[in-house]
Amino acid sequence: MKITVANHPLLAHKLTVLRDEKTKSPTFRALTEEIVTLLAYEATREVRTENVQIKTPVAMTQGNVLAKPKPVVVPILRAGLGMLEGMTRLIPTAEVGFLGMIRDHQTLQPSTYANRLPEDLTGRQCFILDPMLATGGTLIAAIEFLLAKGARDITAITILAAPEGIAALEKAFDGKNLPITLITGALDEKLNEKGYIVPGLGDAGDRLYGVV
Ligand code: URA
């Protein structure tokens, strides 16, 4: 499994404002989109393209366009939804599937409550969007869900990650010879006793959409 912690001064600036507890939902949502667009640039480095011939106003030339089948973007509801616009801004022709997962606040175990995805993901490049890699339980369950539908090429994009979550992902998928990649905006210090990332940004879903 390949792990990249993105590193860019603009990203650092936007993450700092995002983390600040004084940042209100509208700004938080706008920043999340901007951060995801920056992460998506990194995450799509290996996106498949195919060669095409085109005619410019001046001459014939060879170029590259996104290959078919189109990539599939999968935001994990609810907080991953806040990342969707930032991702599709960069890759507007991608198809979007949805996976609803919730983690139990006591056990921290994830369960699936909704899914709208193609039955067969064989040969599709999949991009999972989930802002917080905390224990890793949700992301591991989401990756396993896509693997069960035939996906093999899976990239997860998170805004923040905890070392515990990365260790859990490595334990789950290392040595399985699957091209699974994680791109994250920052690697934080640890999880606290409630399973929140420290220093983190709090509950990403609540900060995006309020406590409902
Ligand atoms: N989910 C969140 O929204 N925040 C955390 O810190 C951990 C998991």
> What is the per-residue pLDDT across 34-58, written as a single tens digit (0 to 9) for each?
999 999 999 999 999 999 999 999 9
Question: Is residue 103 scored above 80 in pLDDT?
Answer: no
Report how far residue 129's alpha carbon sits from residue 14's, in angstroms, rounded to the nearest whole number: 18
End-to-end alpha-carbon separation of the chain, Å?
A: 36
Q: What is the largest CA-CA distance in the chain?
A: 64
Report how far residue 205's alpha carbon sits from residue 135's, in angstroms, rounded to the nearest whole number: 16
Ligand 1 mutation pick, 139, 192, 201, max ligand atoms within 8 A of CB: 201
Q: What is the pLDDT of residue 33?
A: 98
Domains and CATH numbers, the chain: 2-209 (3.40.50.2020)
Question: Is residue 107 scored above 90 in pLDDT?
Answer: no
Helices (H) and strands (E) in the chain, counts: 6, 13
Surface-to-core class of residue 85, CB atoms within 10 Å of its CB (0-12 exposed, 13-18 middle, 19+ buried): middle
Q: Could you tell me the pTM of the whole model?
A: 0.95
| Residue keyed to tokens 């990332």 | 197
Question: Is residue 68 scored above 90 in pLDDT?
Answer: yes
Q: Which atom of ligand 1 is nearest to the CA of 79?
A: 3
CB atoms closer than 10 angstroms to residue 192:
13
Q: What is the pLDDT of residue 108?
A: 72
72 alpha carbon to ligand 1 midpoint, in Å? 24
Q: Which atom of ligand 1 is nearest to the CA of 203?
A: 3
